[in-house]
Structure 1
Amino acid sequence: MKSIFAAGMLVTMALSGTALAQDYPTKPITVVVPFSAGGPTDTVARLVAEAMSQDLGQQVVVQNVGGAGGTLGAGQVATAPNDGYTLLLHHIGMSTAPTLYRSLPYDPLTDFSTIGLITSVPMTLVARKDFEPNTMAELLDYVKANGENITYAHAGIGSASQLCGMLFMEAVDTPMTTVPYQGSGPAMTDIIGGQVDLICDQTTNTTSQILAGEVKAYGVTSSTRLPTLPELPTTREGGLSLEIGVWHGLYAPAGTDPAIIARLEASLQKALTNESVTTRFAELGTYPVTAAEATPEALTQTLTSQIELWRAVIEAAGVYAD
Structure 2
Amino acid sequence: MLLVKTKNFVRLAAVVVLITSISVFSAGCGIFGGDDYPSSDIEWYVGFSAGGGFDTASRIIAEEMSTDLGTNVVVRNLAGGGGRRAAQEIHKAPADGYAISIMNMPNQILAEKIDPQGVNFNNLSWIGRAVIQTYGLYTAADSKFNTPAELAAAGDDIRFCLSGLSGHSFLVASVTTEVMKIAWNPVTGYKGAETQAGLLRGDCELALGPMAGSTLSAVQSPDFKALWIYEDDRFAPLPDVPTVKELGFPQLGGGKFANNGLVAASPGTPDDIVKKLSESFDRALQDPDVIAGINKKGMAVSRLSPAETSSVVDGMSGIVSEYLELVRAKSQSR
Q: TM-score, normalised by structure 1?
A: 0.83
The yes-or-no answer on 1:129 pairing with 2:138 is no
CA contact (8 A) 1:124 1:219 kept: yes
Amino acid at match of 1:124: G
Match of 2:4 in 1: none
Could you tell me how far apart the structure 2 residues matched to 1:154 and 1:252 are? 31
Output the CA distance in 2 between the equivalents of 1:23 and 1:285. Answer: 37
Matched residue type, 1:70: G
Instruction: Specify the SS of the correspondent of 1:109.
Output: helix
- 1:72 equivalent to 2:100? Answer no
Pairing 1:147-226 to 2, within 5 Å after superposition: 147-156=155-164, 158-181=166-189, 183-191=191-199, 194-205=202-213, 206-226=215-235
- Range with bigger deviation, 21-30 or 72-81: 21-30
CA distance in 2, matches of 1:51, 1:9: 36
Aligned residue type for 1:166: S
Tell me the equivalent position of 2:8: none
CA distance in 2, matches of 1:317, 1:129: 29
Following superposition, the deviation at residue 186 of structure 1 comes to 3.6
Determine if contact 1:68/1:157 at 8 Å carries over to the other structure. no
Asked if the contact 1:94–1:303 (Cα under 8 Å) also holds between the matched residues in 2, the reply is no
Distance 1:82 1:287, change over 3 A: same
- Equivalent residue for 2:320, pick from 306, 310, 315: 310
Q: SS where residue 50 of structure 1 aligns?
A: helix
Contact persistence 1:98–1:307 (CA under 8 A):
no
How many Å apart are 1:126 and its aligned residue?
0.7
Check 1:189–1:68 CA distance in 2 against 1; reply closer, same or farther (3 A cut): same
Q: Is the 8 A contact 1:83 1:257 kept in 2?
A: yes
Task: Give the aligned partner of residue 113 of structure 1.
Answer: 125
For structure 1, the residue ranges without an aligned partner over 5 or more in a row are none
Deviation readout 1:107-146 (Å, 9 max, x if unpaired)? 1112x2111122322111111222221x3x2xx2333233
**Structure 2 gap segments, 5+ residues each:** 1-10
Correspondence for 2:246: 237
Cα distance, 1:189 vs structure 2: 4.6
In structure 1, the residue matched to 2:311 is 301
Q: CA 1:317–1:152 in 2, change beyond 3 Å: closer, same or farther?
A: same
Over residues 14-40 of structure 1, what are the superposed CA-to-partner deviations in whole Å (9 max), with x where a residue is unaligned? 544378643333333222222344443
- Counterpart for residue 32 of structure 1: 45
Please state how far the C-alpha of 1:11 moved relative to its aligned partner: 4.8
Name the CA distance, whole Å, in 2 between partners of 1:147 and 1:10: 71
**8 Å CA contact 1:99, 1:320 repeated in 2:** no
Q: Distance in 1 between matches of 2:110 and 2:249?
A: 23
CA distance in 2 between partners of 1:194 and 1:26 (Å): 55
1:187-230 CA-partner distances (Å, limit 9, x unpaired): 34534565432112111143222222231111121211122221
Structure 2: distance between partners of 1:97 and 1:192: 29
Shift in alpha-carbon separation, 1:145–1:265, aligned structure 2, 3 A: same
What percentage of aligned pairs have identical amino acids? 24
> 1:219/1:320 Cα in 2 relative to 1: closer, same or farther (>3 Å)?
closer
1:45 corresponds to 2:58: yes
Q: Which moved more, 1:170-179 or 1:251-260?
A: 170-179
Structure 2 length as normaliser, TM-score? 0.81
Quote the residue 2:111 is aligned against: 97
Tell me if structure 2 keeps the 8 A contact 1:38–1:185. Answer: no
The separation in 2 between residues aligned to 1:51 and 1:156, in whole angstroms, is 36
| CA distance in structure 1 between the partners assigned to 2:22 and 2:319 by the alignment | 42
Whole-Å separation in 1 of the counterparts to 2:56 and 2:264: 17
**Alignment length (residue pairs):** 313
- Supply the RMSD in Å over aligned alpha carbons: 3.1
Q: Deviations over 1:279-301 (max 9, x none)?
A: 233344442123xx2x2211111
**Whole-Å Cα distance in 1 between the matches of residues 119 and 23 of structure 2?**
31
CA distance in 2, matches of 1:189, 1:29: 39
SS in 2 for 1:250: strand
In 1, Cα distance between equivalents of 2:65 and 2:206: 36
> How much does 1:156 deviate?
4.2
Aligned-pair distance for 1:75? 0.9
Distance in 1 separating the partners of 2:281 and 2:237: 25
Of 151-160 and 302-311, more deviation after overlay is shown by 151-160
